[in-house]
Amino acid sequence: MIKPRMLKKGSTIGLVAPASDAPKGNVNKSIKYLKSIGFKVKVGESCYSKKGFLAGKDVLRAKNINEMFVDKSVDAVFCIRGGYGVHRILDKIDYNLIKENPKIFMGYSDITALHIAINKICDLITFHGPMTVSDMKDGLDELSLQYLKKIIMTSNDLIEVNNPKENKIKTLVKGKVEGEIIGGNLALVSATIGTPYEIDTDDKIFFIEDIGEYTFSIDRMLMQLKLAGKLDNLRGIVLGDFNNCIPQDKNDHTLIEVFQDILVPLNIPIIYNLKSGHCTPNIVLPLGGKVEIDGYRGKLFIKGSVVINE
């Protein structure tokens, strides 16, 4: 996988809105925060645009992404928020341009579809992590900022990923394995099946998270992936935050019961409760980078630098 250049104080972050729109005031607050922690900011037109539930027309949102990657003054591309709309622009992205101009690209939720496409087509490591309006407008929490700096602003060969002390990573299936981590939001991963941007899970460590889904919907999406063969050749699984993913009524399975029914029989190392996704803190993960799951100790490690120092 191609590693992008790491960020430094004074680097310029290009902001894009690939999905839903955000209030102008919140965009401005997030820009102020980025500047306060030492970055310069370049704002794409889509960040202040609106068309129904989208941040401007599809052509504009795709154009902004393409422009930020080709712009030599921009060092990284951060998404302001998710929502909905990325699937509408997947066929409008210039993937050759992105591969020729590799940069840090960060976001989560609906941005998962872009992570999958860029990982697959451009062979570029991208970063599942905080977005500016969603997570930074009032300032990042200490742990999220700590991992952002560790992962995209340094070239560490080994990073141990830890939750807050009071909310530890847990083990569902014991075992130890390392490999390339891919994935993101479960609903968006499922929505790639049958498209040219379908996720490739073969021989990978699969990371998933979600928000606001009843447990029967989580069951259905996991079964879709299982029936599509996407769970057949995994090395391991990392379950992130499943914010407000609850039974619809007392007769429904719990979230853990769903995981036990569908994932445990795969007999591969599985850890869960990692604080990455629609949660605080929201720990950065390098999609396409190498990680190690230690299911004996409930640990996750990022193995080898995922950015280059140039």
Residues marked as catalytic? 109, 209, 278
Tokens of 251: 């007769």
Q: Are strands 104-107 and 126-128 parallel, antiparallel or unpaired?
A: parallel
Work out the number of other CB atoms within 10 angstroms of the CB of residue 170: 15
Place of tokens 């803190």: 281
Count CB-CB contacts under 10 A for residue 308.
Answer: 12
Token pair listed for 120 = 């697959």
Long-range contacts of 241-244 (CB under 8 A, 24+ apart): 241/209, 241/211, 241/273, 241/274, 241/275, 241/276, 241/277, 241/278, 241/279, 242/209, 242/210, 242/211, 242/213, 242/218, 242/277, 243/209, 243/210, 243/211, 243/212, 243/277, 243/278, 243/279, 244/211, 244/212
Please list, in sequence order, all residues whose beta carbon lies within 8 angstroms of the beta carbon of residue 224, skipping any fewer than 6 positions away: 190, 193
Q: d(Cα 124, Cα 195) in Å, to the nearest integer?
A: 20
Place of tokens 């029914």: 261
CB 278 within 8 A of CB 241: yes
**DSSP structure class, residue 250:** T
Dist CA 225 CA 9 (whole Å): 41
User: Residue 51: beta bridge partners?
Assistant: 54
Q: What is the DSSP letter of 254?
A: P
Length of the chain: 310
